[in-house]
Amino acid sequence: MDLVGIDIGGTGIKGAPVDVARGVLTADRLRLLTPQPAVPEAVAKVVAEVVGHFPADGPVGVTFPAVIRRGRAESAAHVDKSWIGEDVAARLGDAAGRPVVVLNDADAAGLAEMRFGAGNGRGGLVVMVTLGTGIGTAMFIDGTLVPNTELGHLELDGREAEKRAAESVRERKGLSWSKWGNRVDAYLRHVEMLLSPDLFIIGGGVSKKSTKFFPYLHTKAEIVPAQLLNEAGIVGAAVAAAEAR
C-alpha cells in the first residue's frame, strides 16, 4: 500500500508516495521551498501542492517541527510562531482535501528507523538523536514511541544542548570534528545519565559522516548511524498515516 508522506522543514517541504510495507519511496520525491514567513495559510498551500503532485489516495502523513498533541502544535521550531495552538492536521487536511495525520518531525524519523533502519528488531530503550539545525530526539520503549520528548532542550554547560552540539553549531563556528564530537559526547552522556538507553541512533545529514566524529563518542550504550537519512521523515510520516488508518 502506497501512502504519501510529507516532511516539513525550515527550508523545504518534501514529499513522496511510500510503500509502507517496505519503507521505500515509490516515486521521486518532490521538494518545494518552505514559504517565508512560514505562516499556516502559506505552508498549507505548499503542502496541498505536494500532495496533489502524486496520484496516491488515502490519508497523508505529515511531519511538523513542533510538539504535536492530538493534531495541534504546542510549539514552533523553524516555522512561524503563529502555528502555536493551531490544529495542524485540520489546517493541512482542509487545504489538501485529504485526511492528514501529523507528528513531530524527529518522532517520524525515529519511527522510520525503528521499522526499516538501524533500530529494526531492537528492544529495550532506544533514543534517536537527529543532529541538524537543532537537536531532535525520538524515544522508543520496546518499539513503542514515546512522543514529543524534545531532549535537545536539556541544559548542557549552562545552555540548551542544541545551542552547543547541533550540527549547525559545528558549521557556524568552524569546530573541528574532535571538538564538536566531544560536545556531542557530553550531550549523549547526559542523556544516558538520565535515561540509561540501550541504543542511540544518530540521524541528520551529518550521520553520513559518522566515521569523522563517532570515535569521540564514549557512552555505555551502543551508538549507530541512521540508515534512511533524508528519506526518514517522509517514510515515518507515511507509516504514521498507515497506522492511523
Q: Tell me, yes or no, whether 113 lies in a domain.
A: no
Q: Tell me, yes or no, whether 115 lies in a domain.
A: no
Please tell me whether residues 206 and 240 are part of one structural domain: no
Banded pLDDT at 77 (limits 50, 70, 90): confident
Please tell me whether residues 137 and 213 are part of one structural domain: yes
Please tell me whether residues 193 and 162 are part of one structural domain: yes
Please tell me whether residues 203 and 129 are part of one structural domain: yes
- Classify residue 77 by its DSSP letter: S
Here the CATH number for the domain that contains residue 128 is: 3.30.420.40
Banded pLDDT at 1 (limits 50, 70, 90): confident
Q: Is the peptide bond before 215 cis (omega within 30 degrees of 0)?
A: no
For residue 18, the SS3 value is strand
CA angle 117, 120, 123 (to 5 degrees): 140
Helix residue ranges, H only, the chain: 40-52, 88-96, 105-116, 162-165, 167-173, 177-195, 210-213, 232-244
- The domain of 24 spans 2-107+231-244
User: How high does pLDDT run on average in the chain?
Assistant: 96
Please tell me whether residues 212 and 175 are part of one structural domain: yes
Q: Tell me, yes or no, whether 114 lies in a domain.
A: no
Please tell me whether residues 160 and 100 are part of one structural domain: no
Q: Tell me, yes or no, whether 199 lies in a domain.
A: yes
* DSSP secondary structure of 90-114: HHHHHHHTS-EEEEEHHHHHHHHHH
Compute the distance between CA of residue 106 and CA of residue 162 in angstroms, rounded to an integer.
Answer: 14
Q: Tell me, yes or no, whether 112 lies in a domain.
A: no
Region 133-157: mean pLDDT is 95
> Grid coordinates in use for 185?
559526547
Please give the pLDDT value at position 80. 93
Compute the distance between CA of residue 94 and CA of residue 175 in angstroms, rounded to an integer.
Answer: 45
Q: Tell me, yes or no, whether 207 lies in a domain.
A: yes
Please tell me whether residues 75 and 28 are part of one structural domain: yes
Query: In this predicted model, what pLDDT tens digit does every residue of 102-132 receive, in sequence order?
Result: 999 999 999 999 999 999 999 999 999 999 9
Please give the pLDDT value at position 109. 97
Please tell me whether residues 53 and 146 are part of one structural domain: no
Q: How many residues does the chain have?
A: 245
> Grid coordinates in use for 220?
555505555
Q: Which backbone phi and psi does 50 adopt, to 5 degrees?
A: -65, -45
| Side chain identity at residue 224, one-letter code | V
Q: Tell me, yes or no, whether 202 lies in a domain.
A: yes
pTM: 0.94
Please tell me whether residues 239 and 218 are part of one structural domain: no
Query: Considering its fold, how many domains does the chain have in total?
Result: 2
Please tell me whether residues 95 and 168 are part of one structural domain: no
> Grid coordinates in use for 15?
514529499
Please tell me whether residues 203 and 235 are part of one structural domain: no
Please tell me whether residues 60 and 134 are part of one structural domain: no
Please give the pLDDT value at position 145. 97
Compute the distance between CA of residue 42 and CA of residue 56 in angstroms, rounded to an integer.
Answer: 23
Q: How many CB atoms are closer than 10 A to CB 10?
A: 15
Region 203-209: mean pLDDT is 94
